[in-house]
Amino acid sequence: MNRTQTLTRWFAADNNPIQVFGTVVAIVVGAVAVRPIGTSGTGLAVLCLLVLVSLLLCTRLIPEGVLSPRVQLTVLCVWSAGAAALLALDRSGASALFAYFVTGHAGYRLDSRRSLPFAACTSVLCAGVLLLPWGGHHTSWIVGAFTGVSVLVGISNRAHTEALRSARAAAEQAELASRAEARAEALAERARIARDVHDVLAHSLAGVNMQLEVTDALLESGDIERAREAAQRAQSLVRSGLTEVQRTVGDLREDALPLVETLRSMLASLSDAGTLTVDGPERELPVRLAQVIVRCAQEALTNAHKYAPGAPVRMRLEYRERAEQRERLPEETVFEVVNSAPPDGSRPLAGAGSGMGLVGMRERLDLVGGTVTAGPIVDGDDAGGWRVRVVIQG
């Protein structure tokens, strides 16, 4: 440890300006007022005791924890004995200041079980030496008897310091927790952005890939006109993909998302036999919830065209207002994508999927407290098809 670090440690938070000022003032007052001071006899004894208690008074500036409890108690005992001896020889009574300081410092550095008995012993010692008929002092024993009172000031200061330390520690913990929460939110937002970009690109590329496969099949069969139409649809999907990317960037900036229009546009771009039904009073959803529904719709449409090309696709968006008696329950938004069984002769389009599937939907919905169920349809007009159902509170 270099000299600068040592000084920094010694003049730590415990050494506030008031404490340093009080120590300096006590030493100056003692040097000026304590008498007699000389180079022989009683004057020399007073001088030596004054230097001793002044040095011991400076131990108040040592940060807490530097001295072990045993060493600290030893210093206080020597300080108390020196202050009592000086009080016995001092004719002015000013040396009582050192006795008051020692009990106050004991209250600050020692726990109550040790500081209170120490203060009582110091009071008895100082009162006792003032009652003895020696030294020619004129200080009343009452002054010595009350030296232990300052221990209460020390205890009070200790409690105040501990309260400040606890508050500082709590503030530091709160700051660390806030940083951890901010980091977690940043990571979650980064993952959400990654999913958004992935889904937009996967959705667009899957549609383009599907149309290119259709074009290739038509070219092999010699149907040039229908192949040209499929190629034009692929070009349209590329343009719509670019539009989706721009819209996603806007969504990440928390712009309002026209949910119904977006779903209709998606359905029209990928399905010639698709319909969208909206039930309930339409309301504007929070941007984040609307984004989740759009991404789930993209994934469901991609899977429908991958595994059941040419099958009709139906979307249903339902706004529910729930209330039971006087207690109003949270509103719900239900979104469904249903595709019928694939037509006879159709074949799945290999390699057209997004790679996220149901897992990606569940990850998104977990972030907003929603649920998703998906599975085959076993009865009814859509038997052999697939249903994806999303329920979100909001």
Summarised one tens digit per residue, pLDDT across range 300-336 is 888 887 778 778 899 999 998 765 544 556 688 999 9
Looking at residue 334, what is its pLDDT?
94
Residue 135 has pLDDT above 60, yes or no: no
What confidence tier does 123 reach under pLDDT thresholds 50, 70, 90? very high
Instruction: Report the C-alpha gap between 112 and 116 in whole angstroms.
Output: 6
Domain that holds residue 369: 173-393
334 shares its domain with 247? yes
* Candidate from 58-67, 86-95, 150-159, 252-261 with smallest mean pLDDT: 252-261
Phi/psi of residue 91, nearest 5 degrees: -90, -15
264 shares its domain with 338? yes
Residues, the chain, total?
Answer: 394
110 shares its domain with 10? yes
Q: Which of 106, 191, 194 is nearest to 154 (CA)?
A: 106
Residues 6+ apart with CB under 8 A from 265: 240
The percentage of the chain sitting over the pLDDT mark of 70, rounded to a whole number, equals 82
325 shares its domain with 367? yes
Looking at residue 95, what is its pLDDT?
92
CA distances from 300 to 28, 61, 271, 336, 390 (A): 86, 72, 12, 9, 11
70 shares its domain with 202? no
230 shares its domain with 307? yes
Residue at 84 is within a domain: yes
243 shares its domain with 333? yes
215 shares its domain with 330? yes
**Count of domains for the chain:** 2
Residue bearing the bigger pLDDT, 239 or 109: 109
191 shares its domain with 292? yes
Looking at residue 381, what is its pLDDT?
82
Residue at 167 is within a domain: no
Cβ atoms of residues 198 and 356 within 8 Å: yes
* Candidate from 33-42, 194-203, 254-263 with smallest mean pLDDT: 194-203
116 shares its domain with 62? yes
Angle at 286 between CA 285 and CA 290, to 5 degrees: 70
What confidence tier does 255 reach under pLDDT thresholds 50, 70, 90? low
Instruction: Report the C-alpha gap between 254 and 188 in whole angstroms.
Output: 16
User: What's the mean pLDDT when you consider all of the chain?
Assistant: 82
> What average pLDDT does range 344-349 have in this prediction?
67
Looking at residue 287, what is its pLDDT?
79
